[in-house]
Amino acid sequence: MKKKVLKILAFLTALALIAGIVLFSTALMGNPVSRFLARRTAVRHLKETYPGTDYYIEDVNYDFKTSGYYARISSPTSIDTRFTLYFDMLGHLKYDSYDQVAGGFVTARRLDAEYRELTDGVFNSPSFPYDCDIDFGMLSIYPQADIEGSDPFDIPVHTILVEELVLDGSYDIRELGRRAGHLIIYVNSDEVTAEKAAEIIVRIRQIFDDAGVTFAEMDFTLEHPKPMEGMRNEETVSARGIAYGDIREDGMAERVEAADKALNAYYAEQDAQNKKG
């Protein structure tokens, strides 16, 4: 009798372990029934909402963060028609991100990625002479609603309206860089002064000119290297939104110093407002 009870307990324990593994696997990877329901809803949604188009389902995947599913949609004839449908576990459509296509945001991301590739080619070159914590380029593309009434420290001066972009439009990336290219650079240096920052900024402009990679403005920060142990010296020199045309040796240190003071004053003002709030 005792052996029979032990066998039953062992069997129940095995079932519990198997159930736990199944539940754990489902939580991480989803289940085929929900995936099927999501795909079926996606097919119906495309036919009903976008009739006559060549949109197709790339794949259907599980999102363990939301316990739901999403289907990536593309078009073989449109480079910028890429959006996502989101579903719950029962296959009900929760959200369609096509507005990102219609609103020009997918086009903006494509162009930004192309510009990023250009600037990465400069920053990642073995000949780039500076040790940077952060170094990348982006195209400043914003909707009109974000620009209106925005803080000048939040939205760059040189921007392109997302509403101007044309779906699948062919653009000269270097010309877009000239209009709205934005470099963000944090350089490590043992000497952290406005004069040193000015020297490096002018040199970086020359490097980009030589590479034929255009930009409209630069956010630059000069900081001490992070030590192997202990805290980094927090002394910095920062200049945000330096226009390409203002980057020249004559008076550069003074412009950097003025920009650094303006940025620190802005931060102090924001801190004061946050404390009041």
Q: Which residue has the tokens 């996606």?
A: 42
Type and span of the H or E element at 206 = helix 194-211
User: How far apart, in whole angstroms, are the C-alpha atoms of residue 115 and residue 131?
Assistant: 22
- Structural contact between residues 38 and 71, judged by C-beta atoms closer than 8 angstroms: yes
User: How far apart, in whole angstroms, are the C-alpha atoms of residue 56 and residue 43?
Assistant: 8
Give pLDDT tens digits along the chain (277 positions).
555 544 444 444 444 443 333 333 444 445 899 999 999 999 999 999 999 999 999 999 999 888 899 999 999 999 999 999 999 999 999 999 999 999 999 999 999 999 999 999 999 999 999 999 999 999 999 999 888 877 767 788 899 999 999 999 999 999 999 999 999 999 999 999 999 999 999 999 999 999 999 999 999 999 999 988 888 888 999 999 999 999 999 999 999 999 999 999 988 888 887 777 6
User: How far apart, in whole angstroms, are the C-alpha atoms of residue 222 and residue 196?
Assistant: 8
Going through the chain in order, the beta strands assigned E by DSSP cover 56-63, 68-75, 78-87, 93-96, 132-139, 141-142, 160-161, 181-188, 217-223, 236-243
For position 109, what pLDDT does the model report?
98
For position 267, what pLDDT does the model report?
87
Question: At CA 39, angle to CA 34 and CA 40, rounded to 5?
Answer: 95
For position 3, what pLDDT does the model report?
52
pTM given for the model: 0.84
What's 213's DSSP letter? -
- Structural contact between residues 53 and 106, judged by C-beta atoms closer than 8 angstroms: no
Listed in sequence order, the residues at least 6 apart from 183 whose beta carbon sits closer than 8 Å to its beta carbon are 119, 135, 136, 137, 204, 208, 215, 217, 218, 219, 220
β-bridge pairing 68-75 and 132-139: unpaired
- Structural contact between residues 166 and 101, judged by C-beta atoms closer than 8 angstroms: no
For position 66, what pLDDT does the model report?
87
For position 185, what pLDDT does the model report?
98
